[in-house]
């Protein structure tokens, strides 16, 4: 086997596998920047994956499937927002409940849909011109769906919004010091609702990508813990959309390699690599404590009650 | 204080026991009502579905004993989790710790040359130690390197799932098992006995009940228990009082993981008699135990009863599979619903509702 070919296909597949992680992480970054942890990403992604598959298979249009996936996951996130923002319940427990519920419901409804390939999956693109560059062309500009590029552009846009606009200041202040934001006349509850639901929409697209583009079929539990990796990636990326791009594609590469290296090591041991690595990455970033860890939003995980400190 | 229609809402700081019980019960009932909608949406009559479950569970002693059988791992994991949650350590990893215990028990049963009458005690010891180790790692990672405990415990679940998969497909795969991903069957001296006509491996159950009592006593009456409570309720005060976080959290997670490990021993030595794929060994006991502990509100003794409730839901899942042809995932739906309603209803406990005096115009909030 030639090295160049191996490298090209690895990078290209890593990019494709990183897409659901990227979309999920971008959404979770916004939710957490506003001060709400959502551990329900796994549940929202699997609901998105099932919805996208069921709608695409019935309507024959993967775009419509993705839209519905976003809406269903967004609705699930709305539930989380209601419980944590309005009822001020524990964010961790609510997110776990959402994951349990989502995995159960998708498994229940998905029984009859299992094992059939999707009739018309999302088309892959060949970027005109750029795809003919040697090495880089086949690495980055062939065999990707539109969601790869939209995801990267979205990360840029979200970064600008978060760090260069007034809108971003509002979101960040709600996550850092809701009492101050409240005193300045910002509707803390509304901002949190919007950010959590936005996170759900993106997680839904990420899940849907799995079932209509990456592996156009539906199998129960097909998200295989990606939602939890998303939570780790959010921390790893220091709540920064641009760093999320690198983190997502790095873990995409890990996932891909866990299939690729099966000639050398037992497949089961390779499959545990991304999960082990998530811990290692967080542990290593713990060494540079002062510089790395300060960036968690100060009010993350704390329900806001006016007049309480 | 707030006014809604004719009612006044007064805040209360510490809800009494009957209130906690009543609100929790209301949450479970509400979840079952929404569950009825799920049945209906699935094209089943909710009334007939619940009736079938009732017949399936309460029909005979052997079928009812399945509730007990399912509750055994939930008691052990749940008691351990109440301890961890008291110290505000988010142990989401009981699933992996249970599997670690199952692996260690299998290792002892199949590969350790030990006298026959020592084999079971050694399996329990090994299971406890393996679960404890799997629980200790995230505790050390959090105290020393600030690694988020939710993430590390969750990730370790997946790591252990794949280790078990590897063992049963690879090095430990039984030579007599041909195509199946099983280890060889345990020798009889490594099996737990059942109550007659059931699959209730009573020894594990007794161990769970005794440990529930011990942990409860430890929390209420010992110095360590006191330190656990302070670390959980007021970390600042704990730091000020010179309580060592690394010692307290390590001990908490050794116990929490160890108890889950014992549950794993019970499953392989009691039910399966061999190690097999993780989905068969556990079926999500470790995740369900989170709800068991949460519903018990941090009390190890209450966890025994909430474990029974979820044993009932697991047994109901079995009878739904048999009587109604529903997939087992329905238990996940019910578990999620119950958890949602529990935390959603929590707020209710902290408000007292009573009829307000007529005529007076209360505006918004007064005081509070």
Concatenated DSSP letters for B298-337? T-HHHHHHHHHHHHHHHHHHHHHHHHH---TTHHHHHHHH
Residues B187 and B285 in one domain: yes
The answer to whether the Cβ–Cβ distance between A282 and B147 falls below 8 Å is: yes
Enter the DSSP assignment of A121: P
Q: How far is CA A144 from CA A16, A51, A255, B273, in A?
A: 6, 22, 17, 48
Residues B235 and B350 reside in one and the same domain: no
Residue B231 CB: number of other CB atoms within 10 A? 23
Residue B368 and residue B364: Cα distance in Å, rounded? 11
Q: What is the pTM of this model?
A: 0.90
Encode pLDDT of B43-74 as tens digits: 888 888 888 888 888 888 888 999 999 999 99
d(CA B47, CA B24): 23
What is the full per-residue pLDDT of chain A (309 aa) written as tens digits? 577 888 888 888 889 999 999 999 999 999 999 999 999 999 999 999 999 999 999 988 889 999 999 999 999 999 999 999 998 888 988 999 999 999 999 988 888 888 888 888 888 877 787 877 877 777 788 778 889 999 999 999 999 999 999 999 999 999 999 999 999 999 999 999 999 999 999 999 999 999 998 888 898 888 888 999 999 999 888 899 999 999 999 999 988 888 888 778 888 888 888 899 999 988 887 776 555 554 788 888 888 887 765
Can you give the pLDDT at residue B361? 47
Residue in chain B lying closest to A103 (CA): B332
Question: Phi and psi at residue B80, in whole multiples of 5°?
Answer: -60, -40
> For residue B71, what is the domain's CATH number?
1.10.3470
- List the structure tokens of B6: 């004719």
Same domain, B35 and B149: no
ipTM value, please give it. Answer: 0.88
Tokens of B149: 């405990």
Considering the domain boundaries, does residue B92 fall inside one?
yes
CA atoms of B274 and B191, how far apart (whole Å): 9
In chain B, positions 104-133, which contact chain A (CB-CB < 8 Å)? none
Instruction: List the 187-216 stretch of B: residues with Cβ below 8 A of A.
Output: none
Q: Which two tokens stand for residue A242?
A: 């641009």
Judged by CB atoms closer than 8 Å, whether chains meet at B170 and A268 is answered as yes
Tell me the C-alpha distance between B343 and A40, whole Å. Answer: 15
Cα A234 from Cα A296, distance rounded (Å): 10
Overall domain count for chain A: 1
Q: Which of B34, B41, B146 to substitute to test the interface with A, most A CBs within 10 Å?
A: B146
Contacts of A156 (CB under 8 A, 6+ apart): A241, A242
Q: What is the rounded distance in angstroms from the CA atom of residue A220 to the CA atom of residue B328?
A: 12
Question: CATH number for the domain including A47?
Answer: 1.10.3470
- Residue B51 in any domain: the answer is no
Residues in chain A: 309
Domain count, chain B: 2
Same domain, yes or no: B210 and B229 = yes
Query: φ and ψ at B273, to 5 degrees?
Result: 70, 15
Distance CA B27, CA B113 (A): 51
Q: What is the pLDDT of residue B363?
A: 46
Q: Considering only the beta carbons, identify the residue of A87, A88, A287 that sits closest to B145.
A: A287
Q: Return the CA Rg of chain A.
A: 19
In a domain, A248, yes or no: yes
CA distance B213 to B85: 17
DSSP per-residue letters across B222-279:
SHHHHHHHHHHH-HHHHHHTT--HHHHHHHHHHHHHHHHHHHHHHIIIIIISS---HH
Taking only Cα atoms into account, the Rg of chain B, rounded to an integer number of angstroms, comes to 23
CB contact under 8 A, B156 and A279: yes
Report the Cα B216 to chain-centroid distance in Å.
16
- ∠ CA B241-B245-B250, nearest 5°, is 145
Question: Do B266 and B353 sit in the same domain of this protein?
Answer: no
pLDDT score for B77: 97
Give the integer Cα–Cα distance in Å for B354 and A180.
34
**Do the chains contact at A282 and B346, CB–CB below 8 Å?**
no
Cβ A110 vs Cβ A218: under 8 Å: yes
> Considering the domain boundaries, does residue B49 fall inside one?
no
Regarding whether B32 and B85 lie in a shared domain, the answer is no
- Is residue A238 within 8 Å of A67, Cβ to Cβ? no
**Does A305 reside within a domain?**
no
B40 and B85, same domain (yes or no):
no
Whether B123 and B204 map to the same domain: the answer is: yes
CA angle A88, A29, A101 (to 5 degrees): 55
Q: Are residues B91 and B111 in the same domain?
A: yes
B105, two tokens: 């028990």
Q: What is the pLDDT of residue A257?
A: 87
Residue A207 CA to residue A227 CA, distance in Å, equals 9
- B156/chain A closest Cα distance in angstroms: 7
Whether B16 and B68 map to the same domain: the answer is no
CA B164 to the chain's CA centroid: 21
Sign of CA dihedral A190, A191, A194, A196: negative
The angle at the Cα of B237, spanning B235 to B238, to the nearest 5 degrees, equals 60
Same domain, B318 and B330: no
Q: Which residues of B touch A309 (CB under 8 A)?
A: none
In a domain, B255, yes or no: yes
Q: Does B334 touch chain A (CB under 8 A)?
A: yes
Asked whether residue A308 is assigned to any structural domain, the reply reads no
Pick out chain B residues at pLDDT < 50. Answer: 361-368
What pLDDT is stored for residue B214 in this prediction? Answer: 97
How far is residue B32's CA from residue B322's CA, in Å, rounded to a whole number?
A: 20
In this predicted structure, what is the pLDDT of residue A308?
62
Kindly state whether residues B124 and B261 are assigned to the same domain.
yes
Residue with tokens 């699997």: A46
- Between strands B351-355 and A125-126, the pairing is unpaired
**A262: DSSP letter:** G
Residue B54 inside a domain? The answer is no
Whether the Cβ atoms of residue B159 and residue B87 lie closer than 8 Å to each other: no
Three-state DSSP at B3 gives strand
**B34 touches A at CB < 8 Å:** no
Q: Does the beta-carbon distance from A272 to B158 stay under 8 Å?
A: yes
Q: Which domain holds residue B6?
A: 1-44+326-368
* Enclosing domain of residue A277: 3-293
Q: How far apart are CA A80 and CA A98, in angstroms?
A: 7
């Amino acid at each position: 086997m030639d090295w160049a070919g191996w490298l090209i296909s690895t990078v290209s597949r890593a990019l494709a596998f990183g897409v659901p992680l990227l979309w999920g992480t971008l959404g979770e970054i916004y939710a957490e920047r506003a001060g709400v942890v959502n551990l329900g990403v796994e549940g929202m992604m699997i609901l998105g994956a099932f919805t996208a598959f069921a709608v695409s298979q019935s309507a024959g249009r993967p775009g419509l499937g993705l839209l519905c996936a976003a809406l269903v996951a967004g609705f699930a996130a709305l539930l989380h927002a209601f419980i944590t923002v309005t009822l001020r319940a524990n964010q961790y427990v609510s997110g776990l409940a959402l994951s349990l519920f989502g995995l159960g419901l998708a498994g229940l409804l998905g029984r009859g849909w299992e094992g059939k390939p999707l009739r018309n999956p999302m088309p892959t693109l060949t970027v005109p011109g750029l795809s003919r560059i040697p090495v880089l062309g086949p690495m980055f500009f062939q065999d990707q769906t539109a969601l790869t590029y939209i995801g990267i552009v979205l990360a840029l846009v979200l970064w600008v919004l978060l760090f260069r606009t007034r809108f971003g200041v509002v979101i960040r202040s709600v996550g850092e010091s809701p009492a101050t934001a409240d005193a300045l006349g910002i509707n803390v509850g509304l901002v949190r609702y919007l950010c959590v639901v936005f996170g759900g929409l993106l997680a839904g697209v990420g899940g849907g990508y799995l079932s209509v583009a990456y592996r156009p079929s539906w199998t129960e539990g097909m998200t295989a813990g990606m939602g939890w990796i998303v939570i780790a990636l959010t921390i790893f990326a220091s709540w920064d959309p641009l760093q999320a791009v690198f983190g997502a594609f790095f873990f995409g590469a890990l996932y891909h390699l866990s299939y690729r290296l099966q000639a050398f090591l037992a497949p089961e041991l390779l499959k545990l690599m991304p999960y082990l690595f998530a811990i290692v990455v967080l542990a290593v970033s713990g060494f540079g404590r002062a510089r790395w860890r300060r960036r968690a939003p100060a009010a993350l995980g704390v329900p806001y009650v006016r007049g309480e400190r | 204080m707030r006014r809604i229609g004719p009612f006044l809402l007064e805040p209360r700081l510490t809800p009494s026991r009957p209130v906690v019980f009543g609100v929790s019960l209301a949450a479970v009932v509400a979840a079952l009502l929404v569950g009825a909608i799920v049945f209906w949406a699935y094209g089943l009559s909710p009334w007939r579905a619940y009736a079938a479950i009732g017949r399936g569970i309460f029909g005979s002693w052997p079928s009812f004993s399945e509730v007990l059988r399912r509750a055994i791992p939930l008691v052990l994991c749940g008691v351990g989790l109440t301890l961890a949650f008291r110290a505000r350590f988010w142990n989401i990893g009981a699933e992996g710790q249970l599997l670690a215990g199952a692996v260690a028990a299998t290792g002892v049963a199949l590969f350790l040359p030990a006298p026959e009458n020592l084999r079971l005690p050694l399996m329990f010891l090994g299971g406890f130690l393996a679960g404890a180790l799997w629980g200790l790692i995230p505790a050390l990672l959090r105290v020393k390197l600030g690694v988020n405990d939710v993430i590390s415990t969750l990730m370790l679940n997946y790591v252990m799932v794949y280790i078990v998969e590897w063992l049963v497909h690879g090095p430990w795969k039984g030579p007599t098992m041909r195509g199946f991903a099983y280890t060889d069957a345990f020798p009889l001296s490594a099996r737990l006995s059942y109550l007659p006509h059931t699959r209730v491996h009573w020894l594990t159950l007794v161990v769970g009940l005794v440990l529930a009592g011990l942990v409860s006593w430890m929390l209420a009456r010992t110095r360590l228990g006191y330190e656990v409570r302070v670390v959980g309720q007021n970390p600042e005060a704990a730091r000020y009082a010179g309580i060592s976080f690394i010692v307290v959290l390590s001990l908490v997670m050794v116990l929490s993981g160890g108890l889950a490990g014992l549950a794993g021993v019970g499953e392989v030595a009691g039910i399966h008699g061999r190690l097999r794929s993780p989905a068969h060994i556990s079926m999500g006991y470790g995740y369900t135990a989170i709800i068991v502990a949460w519903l018990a509100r941090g009390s190890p003794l209450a966890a025994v009863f909430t474990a029974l409730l979820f044993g009932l839901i697991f047994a109901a899942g079995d009878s739904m599979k048999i009587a109604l042809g529903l997939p087992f995932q329905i238990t996940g739906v019910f578990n999620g619903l119950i958890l949602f309603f529990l935390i959603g209803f929590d707020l209710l406990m902290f408000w007292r509702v009573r009829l307000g005096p007529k005529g007076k115009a209360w505006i918004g909030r007064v005081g509070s």
